[in-house]
């Protein structure tokens, strides 16, 4: 994992973990790696990992069991919402990028449909 | 949070030449802090003064209430570059010396660190590459139980693998309450690790900032550091 140096690292750790959860690499109720293990894996300071985990605890996506560590929430609705908001972020990025290429919002669906159709043809 | 280290109005001259002037610095416990500045800016001198090695400075140094040099030395662990040992000294002999001199030196901890760094205790100092030597210095420094660790340019002239080992040893061995001050003239390699950044320039501490506060302004630590030297490039 490479971090951008012009965005607070704790925010990037949060994003990284949110992604792991949305992609199903960390599942509902699963214990996440220890603070030190995450620090080592991401080459960051233990304090920074702790700050990210604290934030995620207060957002409800993680919960702490005393002496056991941090776990992914079992609130499936919250997990679904989290996943949806990550998907929305990706879509927003996509829409913005297409706009830069001069493709208007009304043309987006047909552009995407054409692409998917062409791609499907190539694979046949 | 409690102050671990306070440097108050410290000035230092060497051979009539000004090295440091009116340095003020406070560090809290539990942090990883970079001491950044060009070669010759006074980083090493500042570390040596804090460590109680450089004497005859003006001002005051306080480490958790300890102001006298001997008391301070007991609370901090400083990389001293192994300068006092002859080239034929074996690693295990250096360790023996450290264990004798420092009451808080933990030989078991050293052994763990030594294995992590993949160093052979039978090796002589003359047989060590630059990277191995630096790894040994770090292992010796972290084997003491101190509140403050001073690492003077641990990454100078070493390869990427040795650097990675040293960085990982910092993450793994750093006690929660201990503070580590790392001097360097290049920040990229350690920036993801840092809680705070201290800039040394013009014989003094110019700035002291939280790393994430710098990033919050969409600046990288490197850009922030370079901004202090920007005007000089224009000349």
Query: What are the pLDDT digits (tens) for B133-147?
Result: 999 999 999 999 999
List domains and CATH numbers for chain B.
Answer: 3-234 (3.40.50.300)
Query: β-strand B196-201 against B179-184: which pairing, if any?
Result: unpaired
Q: Does A8 touch chain B (CB under 8 A)?
A: yes
Q: Which of B35, B140, B162, B148 is nearest to B82 (CA)?
A: B140
More confident residue, B126 or B189: B126
Q: Does domain A9-74 have CATH number 2.40.40.20?
A: no
* A49-53: long-range contacts, CB 8 A cutoff, minimum separation 24: A49/A10, A49/A13, A51/A10, A52/A10, A52/A11, A52/A13, A52/A14, A52/A17
And the tokens for B217?
């302004």
Residue B56: exposed, middle, or buried by beta-carbon count in 10 A (0-12, 13-18, 19+)? exposed
B-chain CB neighbours of A48 within 8 Å are 195, 212
Residue A5 has its nearest CB partner, among B31, B174, B222, at B222
pLDDT value for A124: 59
B-chain CB neighbours of A45 within 8 Å are 32, 171, 192-195
Chain B nearest C-alpha distance from A81 (Å) = 27
Chain B nearest C-alpha distance from A37 (Å) = 9
The CA-to-CA distance between both ends of chain B, in Å, stands at 43
Q: How far is Cα A45 from Cα B31, in angstroms, rounded to an integer?
A: 9
Q: Going residue by residue through chain A, which has 124 residues, state the pLDDT in tens, using 9 for 90 and above.
A: 778 888 999 999 999 999 999 999 999 999 999 999 999 999 999 999 999 999 999 999 999 999 899 999 999 999 999 999 999 999 999 999 999 999 998 999 999 999 999 887 776 5
Chain A nearest C-alpha distance from B174 (Å) = 9
The answer for A 33-52 residues in CB contact with B (under 8 A) is: 36, 39-40, 42-48
Q: How far is Cα B140 from Cα B104, in angstroms, rounded to an integer?
A: 11
Least CA distance to B31: which residue of chain A?
A: A47
Flag if B215 and A44 touch (Cβ within 8 Å).
Answer: no
pLDDT value for B157: 79
């Amino acid at each position: 994992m490479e971090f951008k140096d012009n965005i607070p690292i704790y925010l990037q750790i949060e994003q990284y973990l949110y992604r792991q959860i949305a992609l199903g690499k960390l599942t509902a109720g699963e214990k996440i790696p220890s603070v030190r293990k995450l620090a080592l894996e991401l080459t960051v300071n233990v304090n920074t990992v702790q700050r990210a985990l604290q934030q995620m605890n207060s957002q409800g996506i993680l919960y702490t069991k005393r002496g056991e560590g941090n776990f992914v929430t079992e609130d499936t609705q919250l997990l679904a919402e989290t996943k949806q908001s990550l998907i929305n972020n990706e879509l927003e990025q996509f829409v913005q990028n297409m706009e830069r290429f001069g493709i208007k919002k009304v043309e987006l669906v047909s552009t995407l449909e054409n692409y998917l159709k062409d791609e499907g043809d190539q694979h046949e | 949070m409690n102050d671990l280290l306070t440097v108050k109005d410290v000035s230092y001259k060497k051979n009539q030449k000004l090295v440091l002037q009116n340095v003020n610095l406070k560090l809290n416990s539990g942090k990883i802090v970079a001491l950044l500045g060009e070669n010759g800016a006074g980083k090493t001198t500042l570390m040596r003064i804090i460590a109680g090695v450089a004497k005859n400075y003006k001002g005051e140094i306080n480490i958790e209430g300890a102001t006298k040099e001997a008391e301070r030395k007991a609370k901090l662990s400083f990389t001293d570059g192994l300068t006092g040992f002859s080239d034929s000294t074996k690693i295990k002999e250096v360790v023996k010396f450290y264990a004798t001199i420092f009451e808080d030196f933990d030989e078991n901890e050293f052994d763990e660190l030594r294995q992590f760094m993949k160093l052979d205790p039978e090796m002589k100092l003359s047989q060590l590459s630059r990277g191995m030597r630096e790894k040994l210095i770090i292992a010796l420094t972290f084997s003491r139980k101190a509140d403050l660790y001073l690492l003077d340019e641990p990454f100078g002239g070493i390869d990427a693998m040795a650097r990675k080992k040293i960085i990982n040893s910092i993450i793994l061995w750093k006690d929660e309450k201990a503070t580590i001050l790392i001097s360097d003239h290049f920040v990229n390699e350690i920036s993801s690790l840092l809680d705070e950044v201290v800039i040394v320039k013009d014989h003094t501490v110019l700035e002291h900032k939280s790393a994430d506060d710098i990033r919050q302004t969409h600046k990288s630590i490197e850009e922030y550091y370079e901004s202090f030297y920007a005007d000089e490039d224009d000349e």
